[in-house]
Chains A and B, each alone.
Chain A
Amino acid sequence: MKVPALVMASLLAVSVSGQTTKPVKKVKKTVSKTKKAESPKPVKTAETKFVPRKDTVLGTGGACPACGMG
């Protein structure tokens, strides 16, 4: 089955550029247009620990756990 030239060209471009194709979240970044006010001196607070949200996909290098032995 012959893959159309246009599709092949796009694959070739990906291959050549070696661009990272990590999934991009469908969340638009908000752009702040206001000038930041000078912040007061930082106050020391307790260190916060990163807790993954339910159903977050953490960066795993593209590996797949599905077979159960990965």
Chain B
Amino acid sequence: MMPEADFVSAILPILQNNSVDVLEWSFDTFYDVEEPEWLSGLLDFYAENDRLLGHGVYYSLFDARWTSRQKDWLQKLKEEFRHRKYNHITEHFGFMNTENFHQGVPLPVPLHSKTLQIGKDRLKRLQDAVEVPVGVENLAFSFSIDDVKEQGEFLEKLIEDIDGFLILDLHNIYCQSCNFEIDMQEIIRLYPLEKVKEIHLSGGSWQESAYGNQPVRRDTHDDDIPDEIIDVLPKALSQCLNLEYVIIERLGHTLDTDEKKQLFFNDFNKVKGIIEVSDFPTGETKAWNKRKGESSEPIEDLQLYHEQTKLTRILFDENTAQSVKNEAFHYFKPENWDKEMIATAQQIIKKWNPY
């Protein structure tokens, strides 16, 4: 769900014909701001009917320091969940640790015992704050093919202590598939598919290569769902046996013409049609049980924090991709990173300007 009038206008026909079974809402994009009445009315209606999902953006699961920002975020989360019922809550893989928390971009972290420990700690605190299942979404951005290949394993380890679940974002996988020339199914199979409770679908855009190569695929949520994703969806539905929800994501302000609204409507119906002829939902719902555990002090790692800060800064500053690759880190391995993806990270960080 997006709060823009264009988005409301685009989804009116499918709301009117009672086709929208579930809504997902990024509640933290409205922390500290007032919801318009029409939005509250719609979200409350879906919440009262057990059809509202919470999707966090700004918690930052892998920030190596535990600060008042995360504490405040959790406090506001508790307030939101007291006020409105969500079926579950999800966050994104990655870290954002710059001063302006709301302007950051999540960057991937390598699989390491320390990064895993920090991610598990943050996820546990998130689970302690709510009484609903907690999940994590795969990240679109990867610096290297190693990032792509290890994300499934990393996510599986990350959620195991809390009996968490995954969002499998197929457009994020499509980005990796295009940018690293790997078949989508090959990447999908690297994920623990029995842990997938939700699938995300969306469109994106192409960015010109900085090196005269193939364009880079970006997850900008501003276009129709590519055919490649529509083609892979039936198989993905059959592979994810505990799947409960399929969500289409689209930025509200990008539905600003009748033609775009019609194409969005067509996408919705296409996906609905695929779901209707599939075996999803299976009828059996897996229980995702909250794990009780003793509270402990937040885990922090100053070296990792300094590296996260340094990495964000050198990507923001106008360094060449080669000079980024030459930087020495303990946790990050920039020497193995793809220059094209370093240049892409620089562009994304410039766009969101976290400073």
State the A residues within 8 Å of B (CB): 1-4, 6-8, 10-15, 17-21, 23-26, 52-58, 60-70
Contacts and interface: CB of A to CB of B under 8 A. Distances in A.
Given A21-B39, A66-B57, A56 B100 contact: yes
Interface of B: 2-6, 8-9, 12, 15-16, 18, 20-21, 26, 29-30, 32-34, 36-39, 41-42, 45, 49, 51, 57, 69, 92, 94, 99-108, 137, 139-141, 169, 171-172, 175, 204, 217-222, 251-253, 344, 348, 351-353
B105 A65 contact: yes
A7 B15 CA distance: 10
B136 to A, nearest CB: 12
B15 A3 contact: yes
Contact of B92 (A2, A63, A67): A67
A62 B253 CA distance: 7
Contacts of A20: 5
Main secondary structure of the interface of A (DSSP, over half): loop
B140 A26 contact: no
Nearest to B108: A68
B57 A15 contact: no
A10 B41 contact: yes
Contact of B42 (A11, A23, A61): A11
B57 A64 contact: yes
A11 B3 CA distance: 11
Nearest to B12: A15
